[in-house]
Amino acid sequence: MKAPLSWILDHIDVPAGTTTEHITDRLTLTGLKLEAIESPGRDITGPLVIGRVLTMEAEPQKNGKTINWCTVDVGDANGTGEPQGIVCGAHNFKPGDLVVTVLPGGVLPGGFEIGARKTYGHLSAGMICSSRELGLGDDHDGIIVLPADAGTPGQDVRPVLGLDEETIELEINPDRAYALSIRGIAREVLVSVEGASGFRDPALRDTPPADDLGHPVVVEDAEGCPVFVARRVSGFDPSAPTPDFMVRRITAAGMRPISLAVDVTNYVMLETGRPIHGYDADKVRGALVVRRARDGERLTTLDGTERRLDPGDLVVCDDSGIIGLGGVMGGETTEISGSTTSVLVEAAHWDAVSMYRTGRRHKITSEAGKRNERGVDPTICEAAADRVVELLVEHGGATAEPGVTVVGTPPAQPVVEVAGDLAARVSGMPITEERSVECLRAVGCEVTGSGTLSVTPPPWRPDLTDAQDFSEEVIRLVGYDRVPSVLPTPPSGRGLTRAQQLRRRVGRTLAGEGFVEVVSFPFVGASDLDALGLPADDPRRDVLELTNPLSAEAGSMTTTLLPGVLRAAGKNVGHGNADVALFETGTVTLPRHAGPAAILPVDRRPTAEELAALDAALPAQPLHLAVVAAGDASSGGWWGEARPVSWADAVEAVRSVTDALGLDVTAAAAEVAPWHPGRCAELSVDGEVVGHAGELHPTVCQAFGLPKRSVAAEVDLDLLISRAVHLRQAPAFSSYPVAKEDVALVVDAAVPAADVEAALREGAGELLESIRLFDVYTGDQVGEGKKSLAYALRFRAPDRTLKEGEAATARDAAVALAAQQTGAVQRA
């Protein structure tokens, strides 16, 4: 929120000598963080004065352009008292007008230095300035013509234009919507700056009573629109200019002046915080009706966009149909234009949740919507409408029509019970009950009682709904900077927890394997899950929806890390990094559908039962590990050809992690999205499935911008860590010779190699030191539907040399068990 300081000080008095920096420092300490202090004249140096045009001679040029050779009286500002000769290309002024003149030696925004130079056959000594050249707006078609009483030639024009005005820009939290107005910021100055007094509320004014003479209004949805006020003016002059003070303030606040009628509604919104909408009254047909939209209805809004409406949208209608998206944006058919002479003023209070949802649904961001969706004071609709009428009458020559339409009443404010010592208990500061009551009344609350206070929040603070909200108000006014810093005594000798150490071990292991860690947002949308090719009944589609997502396209907590890590890999590939190997560790969110969680107290330690109830309501959030690799696993060169990644690399990445955790992982064939059927492995530890790995389906690769045959894996890291061997025992080595035996077994093609290996390992007994699959063959020699698996078996005893035949006997036992369990036949 940008706010000119002079506008704020129109409504509040501060002690003499109070600087802008002091005001902003105090506002920052009480919650309105300073972003910047701006001054439009900060980049302008040198002589910038009022000039009076004495003569102007039009001189057509060969290029078709006509310039004016002017003599301008600048008083004694040029040191001679003589008129200044200046060439000007604008034509919106005449002799006798007062203009803004910068003389040689001046510097305009952007470092544009002004000097005397010969142009169009004349020595032009200075410049007559437009708004854009001074950084005051975008208008460059004509120069600034000052009012006749602006001052005398040669006088510094900065105070006249407000160039020495300071504007403060504040960061306003979403729950502090009242501060999106001069009224709200002035209130904050009152409670923040010591010695501030005399708050003059722009919304505190006498308004004419409601009657039956105004424009008819029917509100069919009182929850969506509790209050609707309508006023009308006629005889408005559409050519009346917006007064200079209003243009300067609107521009300083970051908005663009448009026309007097529109500027007045924006000015009042900035002043009071109440969004106002104006209709061309002559284009409105019949009574205004507020209701919810119906399926299939459409509206072309002021930005020229035709929008398909949703049944949740609040709309304003007349006899011709829908004429506005209530509280968000008006319709094109009743837009105020250059021919508007009658204005129907709407000041309505809208349901904040409906405003937020409508804005997000239609991707509309407007100043009015920003305020309505955060919550606005519902009691000032009549005052805001009356202020608009007053300004249109004063500056637009309009006449206020008789009749004031007021439909509905502001919602009642809740009464909240607050312990008198709550702020002291929460903050640790010695805050008395009397001080708490003083602070609460300072921010506009009504407080009664003692010990347990009954507090009614002011209507402009819809964010104050809980006892803790009121304690926070007290604490921020007492001063966050006064909260004592008490460091807890750290326990000695604990260091990292077992889980932390193991997570670091996993990260170091994967980094050693050539993978790079990435961190992605834990949010997904339906399109992400569709891109993974997940079937409709896949449990990973059961996601936790977010009430206030950062993006409408990713409005849920993710149940899998794959979308994020695949997007990261696709972005790398898209930027020319064709060979990528990435990993990510992060939590996924698995809904339990246990209902809402209870709000825990902050002034005491929660009980074990309260914590257990909270845990039961929270979704499960296990830690997962995901890896992805694309391109070449090893680069080629003089030493040999490159090796592209394969599904085995994904399996091996997981195996390296399980090895580091002291676990044995087994792989079995599976068909799970998003992996390619037949090239996906189900990974298990001690018979429990921990994840999957393999080659990604081609459609998934295409969706994420990855090359075909890219690979990925995802495992439950929490499950692996829970079973991990934290302190691994060093392996025992035998100094006796090894006995080598190789076997080739023919099995059905569908039999997993892991099953054959497990049977061989079990049958070989305790003499088996290692087993390795070194060849897989399919072809005519083994028959259709068969495959040959060749294993290298290594036998060794820890305390002796094996006798002749012991290794062969163990091999035969292994083959026999493999034949029994998998139907394997030893190949000759």
pLDDT digits 0-9 by tens, 381-397: 999 999 999 999 999 99
pLDDT of residue 613: 85
Three-state SS annotation for 656-709:
HHHHHCCCCEEEEECCCCCEEEEEEEEEEECCEEEEEEEEECHHHHHHCCCCCC
Q: Which of the four pLDDT bands, split at 50, 70 and 90, describes residue 165?
A: confident
Mean pLDDT, residues 814-818 taken together: 94
Judge residue 107's burial from the number of C-beta atoms within 10 Å of its C-beta, 0-12 exposed, 13-18 middle, 19 or more buried: middle
Q: Which of 407, 435, 408 is nearest to 420 (CA)?
A: 435
Cβ atoms 629, 581 nearer than 8 A? yes
Cβ atoms 188, 30 nearer than 8 A? yes
Within 13 Å and on the Cβ side, how many CA atoms surround 94? 1
Q: Give the chain's length.
A: 828
Mean pLDDT, residues 543-571 taken together: 92
Judge residue 436's burial from the number of C-beta atoms within 10 Å of its C-beta, 0-12 exposed, 13-18 middle, 19 or more buried: buried
Q: Which of 717, 339, 738, 728 is nearest to 560 (CA)?
A: 717
Structure tokens belonging to residue 467: 């006892």
Structure tokens belonging to residue 317: 């209608």
> Within 10 Å of residue 176's Cβ, how many Cβ atoms?
19
pLDDT in tens, 211-222: 989 999 999 999
Domain 416-482 -> CATH class: alpha beta
pLDDT of residue 787: 92
Cβ atoms 622, 587 nearer than 8 A? yes
Give the helix, strand, coil percentages of the chain, each rounded to 5. 30, 30, 45
What CATH superfamily classification does 217-407 receive? Phenylalanyl-trna Synthetase, Chain B, domain 3 (3.50.40.10)
DSSP string, 226-265: SEEEEEEEES--TTPPPPHHHHHHHHHTT-----HHHHHH
End-to-end CA distance of the chain: 84
Q: Is 13 helix (H, G, I), strand (E, B) or coil?
A: strand
pLDDT of residue 753: 87
Q: Which of 217, 185, 180 is nearest to 201 (CA)?
A: 185
pLDDT in tens, 723-763: 998 666 667 788 899 999 999 999 998 888 888 998 999 99
Domains 2-39+166-192 and 416-482 share a fold: yes
Q: How far apart are CA 82 and CA 123, in angstroms?
A: 15
* Range in 62-66, 314-318, 644-648, 688-692 the model is least confident about: 62-66
The b-or-e profile of 35-56 (16+ CB within 10 A means b, else e) is eeeebbbeebeebbbbbbbeeb
pLDDT of residue 598: 77
Q: Which of 78, 70, 132, 67 is nearest to 102 (CA)?
A: 78
pLDDT of residue 287: 94
Q: How far apart are CA 569 and CA 779, in angstroms?
A: 37
Q: Which of the four pLDDT bands, split at 50, 70 and 90, describes residue 696?
A: very high
CA distances from 288 to 183, 299, 378, 445, 525 (A): 30, 16, 20, 35, 39
What CATH superfamily classification does 739-826 receive? Ferrodoxin-fold anticodon-binding domain (3.30.70.380)
pLDDT in tens, 23-48: 999 999 998 999 998 887 888 889 99
* Range in 158-162, 174-178, 257-261 the model is least confident about: 158-162
Q: How far apart are CA 789 and CA 791, in angstroms?
A: 7
CA distances from 56 to 86, 122, 127, 636 (A): 9, 13, 14, 78
Q: How far apart are CA 646 and CA 711, in angstroms?
A: 7
* CA max distance for the chain: 123
Q: How far apart are CA 626 and CA 655, in angstroms?
A: 13
**CATH pick for 48-161 out of 2.40.50.140, 1.10.10.10, 3.40.710.10, 3.30.930.10:** 2.40.50.140
Classify domain 498-723 by CATH architecture: 2-Layer Sandwich (3.30)
pLDDT in tens, 287-301: 999 999 998 899 999
Q: How far apart are CA 402 and CA 407, in angstroms?
A: 17
pTM of the model: 0.65
Q: What is the mean pLDDT of the chain?
A: 91
CA distances from 231 to 142, 260, 279, 383 (A): 35, 17, 11, 11
pLDDT in tens, 335-371: 999 899 999 999 999 999 999 999 989 998 888 989 9
The answer to whether domain 2-39+166-192 has CATH 3.40.50.150 is no
CA distances from 333 to 258, 317, 784 (A): 18, 11, 75
pLDDT of residue 142: 83
Which residues, at least 6 apart from 559, have a Cβ–Cβ distance to it below 8 Å? 524, 539, 540, 541, 542, 543, 588, 589, 590
Q: Which of the four pLDDT bands, split at 50, 70 and 90, describes residue 256?
A: confident
Domain ranges of the chain: 2-39+166-192, 48-161, 217-407, 416-482, 498-723, 739-826
CA distances from 85 to 78, 427, 545 (A): 11, 68, 69
Q: How far apart are CA 814 and CA 458, in angstroms?
A: 83
Rounded to 5°, the CA angle 671-677-678 comes to 95
Q: How far apart are CA 792 and CA 740, in angstroms?
A: 7
Q: Which of the four pLDDT bands, split at 50, 70 and 90, describes residue 818?
A: very high
pLDDT of residue 38: 85
